[in-house]
């Protein structure tokens, strides 16, 4: 397959590049094999513009990481940084900031001035290595949530007092009028595109160049507008994208 688009030379691919994702509304939406959402659509637009053809496939992140480790021409998207995974996957490019927040039910009084204050409460957290490391350093006991889709329901069911999750949960709760509030902001992290180490170098170079602004290149503005997240796009363009050159 030879692809040629404006601004790029031809690139020859033996097959599609398989990108494994896990559903995480509102950024990645999966309806059977149909995968959409601003992260998925922005990546598709960026790679298409770069002359690359991708195939999006959905798997839970742990299974996806195991598949990508063994399958050439495949990537995990988006991936939080893990020193353990970095030994077997190539963290190619940063694609988005990861804004992590602590949430509580509206009727629950929680007083937090520092992360260590969470030690007084029952805590649930997304399975993100850096967040788990921070909680352990602050001597906070926590319950790991392996399926983000269940997190909001678990908080509402009082499985824990505080939930640490990304800003996607805040967007969902506002849209669905769910009675939870963000009560504390953790330092931002970053999400990556992490690929199998045997992916052809010319493909990796093409991907790296295409993702120089992460998922927030100017050509993706219509994608973020379509999902009514243009304000987030503008915030990230202002606050995060300039730092990618560091």
| The predicted structure's pLDDT at residue 5 | 40
| The predicted structure's pLDDT at residue 32 | 85
Could you give the domains of the chain?
Answer: 2-97+190-245 (3.40.190.10), 100-185 (3.40.190.10)
pLDDT-derived band at 245 (thresholds 50, 70, 90) equals: low
The predicted model gives 181-198 an average pLDDT of: 94
Lowest mean pLDDT among 15-19, 78-82, 114-118, 223-227: 15-19
Side-chain-facing half-sphere of 87: CA atoms under 13 Å: 2
The proportion of the chain whose per-residue pLDDT surpasses 90, expressed as a percent, equals 76
| The predicted structure's pLDDT at residue 65 | 94
The predicted model gives 123-141 an average pLDDT of: 94
| The predicted structure's pLDDT at residue 225 | 97
| The predicted structure's pLDDT at residue 231 | 95
| The predicted structure's pLDDT at residue 149 | 83
66: which residues sit within 8 A by CB, 6+ positions away?
A: none
| The predicted structure's pLDDT at residue 246 | 52
Token pair belonging to 198: 């045997």
| The predicted structure's pLDDT at residue 6 | 41
Distance separating alpha carbons of residues 192 and 95, to the nearest angstrom = 5
pLDDT in tens, 205-239: 999 999 999 999 999 999 999 999 999 999 999 99
pLDDT in tens, 32-89: 889 999 999 999 999 999 999 999 999 998 899 999 999 999 999 999 998 889 999 9
pLDDT in tens, 134-181: 999 999 999 999 888 889 999 999 999 999 999 998 988 888 888 999
Token pair belonging to 163: 């939930």
| The predicted structure's pLDDT at residue 48 | 94
pLDDT of 123 > 60? The answer is: yes
| The predicted structure's pLDDT at residue 14 | 44
pLDDT of 7 > 60? The answer is: no
Distance separating alpha carbons of residues 233 and 11, to the nearest angstrom = 29
Q: Are 92 and 192 contacting, i.e. CB atoms less than 8 angstroms apart?
A: yes
Distance separating alpha carbons of residues 230 and 212, to the nearest angstrom = 19
The predicted model gives 185-209 an average pLDDT of: 94
Distance separating alpha carbons of residues 88 and 78, to the nearest angstrom = 16
């Amino acid at each position: 397959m030879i692809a040629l688009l404006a601004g790029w030379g031809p690139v020859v691919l033996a097959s599609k590049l398989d990108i494994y994702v896990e559903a995480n509304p509102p950024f990645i939406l999966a309806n059977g094999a149909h995968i959409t959402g601003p992260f998925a659509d922005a990546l598709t637009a960026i790679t298409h513009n770069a002359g690359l053809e991708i195939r999006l496939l959905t798997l839970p992140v742990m299974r996806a990481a195991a598949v990508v480790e063994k399958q050439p021409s495949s990537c995990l998207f988006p991936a939080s940084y893990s020193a353990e995974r970095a030994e077997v996957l190539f963290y190619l490019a940063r694609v988005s900031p990861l804004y992590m927040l602590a949430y509580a039910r509206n009727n629950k009084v929680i007083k937090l001035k520092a992360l260590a204050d969470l030690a007084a409460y029952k805590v649930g957290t997304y399975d993100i290595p850096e967040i788990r490391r921070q909680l352990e350093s602050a001597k906070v006991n926590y319950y790991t949530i392996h399926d983000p889709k269940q997190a909001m329901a678990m908080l509402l069911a009082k499985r824990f007092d505080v939930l640490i999750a990304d800003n996607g949960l805040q967007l969902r709760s506002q849209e669905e009028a769910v009675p939870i509030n963000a009560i504390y902001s953790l330092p931002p992290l970053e999400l990556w595109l992490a690929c199998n180490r045997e992916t052809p170098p010319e493909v990796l170079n093409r991907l790296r160049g295409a993702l120089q602004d992460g998922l927030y290149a100017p050509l993706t503005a219509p994608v973020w507008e379509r999902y009514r997240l243009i304000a987030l796009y503008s915030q990230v363009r202002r606050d995060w994208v300039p730092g990618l050159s560091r």
